[in-house]
Structure 1
Amino acid sequence: MNSFNEEISSKLGLIRNTLSETGASAVRLRGTDWFAWATAGASNAVLLAAETGVAEVVVTAQAAWILTDEIEAERLQDEELPGTEDSANPLYKLYINLWADSAARESFIRDVTAGGKILSDRPTGDEAPLPSSLVKQKRVLIPCELERYRQVGRLASEAMTEVLSNAQPTWTEYQLAGASAQALWSRGLHPALTLVAGERRLPLYRHATPKEEPLGRAAMLVFCARGYGLYANLTRFVFFGSSQANAEIRNYASGHRHIREIEAEALNFCLPDKPLNGVYDVLDRAYHQHGYPQAIRQHHQGGTTGYLSREIIVNPSSSQTLAENMAIAWNPSLPGAKIEDTFIILKDGRLENLTFDPKWPSVKVEGRDRPVPLEID
């Protein structure tokens, strides 16, 4: 059995344990996140902005199926799921309905569950939500997932470096976003989110969707890049012209120093079994200590990541705990300054940075390489 089948077998085992513990007849997974998790990184996405895709997973105690329609079946079987099926003993059977007959799929579900209880990631009708125990399993990554994640992080960071190294102050924000999409797609990554702010908009907006205006003397670029269903989240800045040449760019540089030190407090706290709301408290105190008491109210601070760009956005009531092999991506920010990378919490308490390109300029902060703005004269 190949590694993909071993991973899928393991995850089917987790799902069936959930069925046994809850007495449910089936688990039904519709989301792009859960589909990728259950299929060892396959994609059911066509419309990238959609939370659900063109196929779903249904698992009972006796069998497991990929459900899709006649438009998608051949492509999925040829390109997304070739490693999931052994002709003698398939892990997933394929159920195909006519694209114009969605009722047939619901009838199939009723038949294989005998009308029993269904658990779902996106429940509808009489379906019930997935239990927290299974949700937690999805958020803690196993070794083969981590290997895929390292690849996604490396490719995303290389794309970021390539794009900003070639950027010009006369480019519009649209042009920078377009170059980013090209760099990500050329590496096989989905540009799930691309934010761009040039000099004028940089101090005004935290979530700066691109507009048709020139970058000017400074720009921020944010990626949520998806590969194998996993999200690499990172933020970088570029300054055009020496930062010694004008006061505004020097002010931005000062903000970046503060934000690196604020982020370091959060990263130092990230150990297995630590509460997520503890990270929020650490960031809140750090903002106060650096003279920005309202900053935590002006942008969310990131959270855990993985098969969603944010599995949990941290807030004061986040009672969940961090765990070994969980992915995190904090993004503390100030006007004109932000920092973000995707890390894995390791067993010994160290953090592995998945999205840092050694070609990018950096400084050491609490022993970690942290990005600084790229300066292009």
Structure 2
Amino acid sequence: MTIDSTPDVRAGEVAAKLALLRETLAQSGAGAIRLRGLDWVSWVTAGGDASVQLALDSGAAEVLVTRDDAVILTDEIEGERLRQEQVPPGFTYHIAPWAEVELRETYVLGAAAGGAVLTDRPNHVDQPLPASLRLRRMVLGDAEQARYRALGRDAAAAVGEVLRAARPEWTEFQLAGAAAQALWARGIQPAAVLAAGERRLPLFCHAAPTHERLGGRASLQVCARRHGLYANLTRSLSFGPAPAGQTELLQVEATGLDAVRPGNSLAAVYHALDAAYRHANRPEAMRLHHQGGITGYAAREIVATPSTATGLETGMALAFNPGFAGIKIEDTFLLGAGGLENLTLDPHWPSATVQGRVRPLWLENP
């Protein structure tokens, strides 16, 4: 996946992020910052992708930042591909033979010049990044928001395309496979694809697909990743009338979304949803599944709990997934100055307007 943004735009984004990291170095007195995870590498490279195996938390490169340099740490297998296709200007490279991993560690120690190494994936030697830096990562800049909008549109189109084509005789594996294919065709990594048919929908919140046939109903939940960002959405299909309860759920969700305002905490959203479930006589729903939270460079950066004091800020992305009795709803929103912008809105999907927001209904396909 190459990035459509011009090199100048990405280089400017990288420069601002490196300045933030060097500010952290100055405040902490550390010698270097070592970013290991795919999430942080994508963030600092303005959407570069170091992944090879989707199931791994780390990829083909790390990034080492000192007061004077920003270095891509990789090997001879990956170096040139990353340079040509993923990493924008602003970085130098330390490329070591793949079989001599100790050379990377020696290089990091030398670059830190005796100072501490801060990292997103600390071990018994390195120190963790400050929490303030992680919070700064969650406030997305203009270029990140533009990438997110494009991702959201494409992910929603992929899911809608697949559910319109689905048939009762399909298995859950076929539905999930078709969704993965539609995402890949748009340059999107299917980081998670959950699919459930009529029988399993009300039984499991995270219904990993099986060979069971869909039957009368089906639901797709996806975490779709491109340029390091995650678009999370859920859509449902009924071969006949939609189940009762979706109007009730939309009101629960609307109460939660109304609480998503700059200055409010994630805990405030949790408590709003909890109260809405109780009002709908569904108090058990809050216990049976988490409700989502802040998203961005992780499918869930922070999950909302009764005590999550993290404050919401303009520029954050959020995905909440309320549900009960096999009925679920989820989209990815950007919190802007004018309120919530639905990044995964599909204008071709059946919808209803609830408290001023266009929300997806079940697709009824007879």
Query: Helix, strand or coil for the counterpart of 1:211?
Result: coil
Distance 2:34 2:263 in 1: 30
Please give the alpha-carbon distance, in whole angstroms, between the structure 2 residues aligned to 1:317 and 1:23.
32
Matched, 1:371 2:360: yes
Counterpart of 2:285 in structure 1: which amino acid?
A
Quote the Cα distance in structure 2 between the aligned partners of 1:100 and 1:256. Answer: 56
Matches within 5 A, 1:243-262: 243=241, 252=243, 254-262=244-252
Give the count of matched residue pairs. Answer: 360
Of 24, 27, 30 in structure 2, the residue corresponding to residue 24 of structure 1 is: 30
Tell me which residue corresponds to 2:282. Answer: 292
Amino acid in the other structure paired with 1:25: G
Partner residue, 1:57: 63
TM-score w.r.t. the length of structure 2 is 0.97
> Which of 317, 324, 337 is equivalent to 2:314?
324
1:312 partnered with 2:298 = no
**Structure 2 partner of 1:342:** 332
Does the aligned pair in 2 maintain the 1:118–1:127 contact within 8 Å? yes
Q: Whole-Å Cα distance in 1 between the matches of residues 311 and 326 of structure 2?
A: 31
1:35 match: 41
Q: Which runs of 5+ in 2 are unaligned?
A: 1-6
Q: Following superposition of structure 1 onto structure 2, how do residues 124-163 of structure 1 map, counting pairs within 5 Å?
A: 124-163=123-162
Kindly report which structure 2 residues correspond to 1:1-377, keeping only aligned pairs within 5 A, or say none. 2-81=8-87, 84-85=88-89, 91-241=90-240, 243=241, 252=243, 254-348=244-338, 350-377=339-366
Contact 1:19 1:61 (8 Å CA) reproduced: yes
Q: Distance in 1 between matches of 2:145 and 2:278?
A: 35
**Distance in 1 separating the partners of 2:28 and 2:337:** 31
TM superposition shift of 1:115: 2.3
Contact residue 255 and residue 336 of structure 1 kept, 8 A: no
Residue by residue over 1:43-99, the C-alpha shift from the partner in whole angstroms, topping out at 9 and shown as x without a partner, is: 011111111111001000011100001111111112112xx22xxxxx210111111
Provide Cα deviations, 1:13-49, integer angstroms capped at 9, x if missing partner: 0000000111111111011110000000000111111
Once the two structures are TM-superposed, the CA of residue 316 in structure 1 deviates from its matched residue by 1.3
Runs ≥4 in structure 1, deviation > 6 angstroms? none
Q: Is the 8 A contact 1:36 1:228 kept in 2?
A: yes
Which SS does the other structure have where 1:208 is aligned?
coil
Letter in 2 for 1:158: A
The residue matched to 1:351 in structure 2 has which SS?
Answer: strand
What amino acid is aligned across from residue 61 of structure 2 in structure 1? A
Q: State the 1:124 CA deviation.
A: 1.4
Amino acid in structure 1 at the alignment position of 2:82: L
Asked if the contact 2:35/2:119 (under 8 Å) is kept, the reply is yes
- SS of 1:292 mapped into structure 2: coil
Q: Distance in 1 between matches of 2:52 and 2:114?
A: 30
* SS of residue matched to 1:216: coil
Quote the Cα distance in structure 1 between the aligned partners of 2:274 and 2:160: 31
d(CA) in 2 for partners of 1:316, 1:103: 45
Cα distance between partner residues in 2 of 1:114 and 1:124: 19
How far apart are residue 186 of structure 1 and its match?
A: 0.2
- Determine the C-alpha separation between the residues in 1 that align with 2:120 and 2:253: 32
| Shift, 1:3, TM fit | 0.7
More off after superposition, 254-263 vs 269-278: 254-263
**In structure 2, distance between residues paired with 1:118 and 1:316:** 34
Alpha-carbon shift at residue 125 of structure 1 (Å)? 2.5
TM-align CA RMSD: 0.9
Percent of aligned pairs with the same residue?
49
Task: Compute the TM-score of the two structures, normalised by the length of structure 1.
Answer: 0.94
CA contact (8 A) 2:29 2:115 kept: no
Aligned to 1:246: none
- Structure 1: where are the runs of 5+ without partners? 86-90, 244-248
**What CA distance in whole angstroms lies between the structure 2 residues aligned with 1:60 and 1:316?**
38
| Matched letter for residue 39 of structure 2 | D
Cα shift readout 1:183-213 (whole Å, capped 9, x = no counterpart): 0000000000000010000110000000001
Aligned mates of 2:300, 2:342 — CA distance in 1: 17
Q: What amino acid maps onto 1:374 in structure 2?
A: L
CA distance in 1, matches of 2:35, 2:306: 30
Question: How far did residue 128 of structure 1 move?
Answer: 0.9
Q: Distance in 1 between matches of 2:199 and 2:256?
A: 29
Would the aligned equivalents of 1:26 and 1:59 in 2 still touch at CA under 8 Å? yes
- Is the partner of 2:52 in helix, strand or coil? coil
Task: Kindly state the Cα deviation for residue 255 of structure 1 after the two structures are TM-superposed.
Answer: 2.0
Provide the C-alpha distance between the structure 2 equivalents of 1:294 and 1:157, rounded to a whole number of angstroms.
30
